[in-house]
Amino acid sequence: MKHFISIDLGGTNVRVAKMDEEGNILAVLKSSSYAKEGREKMISNMKELIQQIPGYEECAGIGIGAPGACDQEKGCLLIDTNVPGLKDYPIVKDFEDTFHMPVRIENDADVAGLGEAIYGIGKEYPSVFYITISTGIGGAFILNKKVVSGRKGFGAEIANLVIDPSREKINYLAKGAVENEASGTAIIRKANQKLNRTVAHAGEVFQLAREGNPIAQEIIDGAIHDIAQMLASISAVIAPHIFILGGGFMKSSDYFMEDLRKYYAELVHEELKDTPIVQASLDEPGLMGAIELVKNL
Binding residues for its own copies, rule: CB under 8 A, are 69, 78, 127, 139, 141, 143, 148, 150-166, 174, 229, 232-241, 266-269, 271-272, 275
Closer to its own copies by Cβ: residue 97 or 266? 266
Q: Do 4 and 295 form a contact (C-beta atoms < 8 A)?
A: yes
Nearest one of 35, 3, 31 to 19, comparing CA atoms: 3
Closer to its own copies by Cβ: residue 152 or 201? 152
Query: How far is the CA of 206 from the CAs of 79, 200, 203, in angstroms?
Result: 31, 12, 5
Closer to its own copies by Cβ: residue 190 or 225? 225
Q: How far is the CB of 149 from its own copies (least distance, A)?
A: 8
Q: Do 95 and 290 form a contact (C-beta atoms < 8 A)?
A: no
Q: How far is the CB of 122 from its own copies (least distance, A)?
A: 13
Q: How far is the CB of 160 from its own copies (least distance, A)?
A: 5
Q: How far is the CB of 175 from its own copies (least distance, A)?
A: 9
Which pairing describes strands 242-246 and 146-147: parallel, antiparallel, or unpaired?
A: unpaired
Furthest-apart CA atoms within the chain: distance in Å: 58
Q: How far is the CB of 102 from its own copies (least distance, A)?
A: 22
Element (H, E) at 44: helix 39-52
147: left (phi over 0), alpha (psi -120 to 50) or beta: beta
Q: How many CB atoms lie within 10 A of CB 66?
A: 26
| Dihedral sign (CA 75, 78, 81, 84) | positive
Closer to its own copies by Cβ: residue 178 or 208? 178
Closer to its own copies by Cβ: residue 60 or 173? 173
Alpha-carbon span 84 to 19, nearest angstrom? 28
Closer to its own copies by Cβ: residue 112 or 208? 112
Closer to its own copies by Cβ: residue 118 or 156? 156
Q: How far is the CB of 165 from its own copies (least distance, A)?
A: 5
Closer to its own copies by Cβ: residue 64 or 231? 231
Nearest one of 254, 252, 278 to 264, comparing CA atoms: 278
Q: How far is the CB of 244 from its own copies (least distance, A)?
A: 14
- φ, ψ of residue 240 in degrees (nearest 5): -65, 155
Scored b (16 or more CB within 10 A) or e, 199-210 reads beebbbbbebbe
Alpha-carbon span 54 to 51, nearest angstrom? 8
Q: How far is the CB of 140 from its own copies (least distance, A)?
A: 11
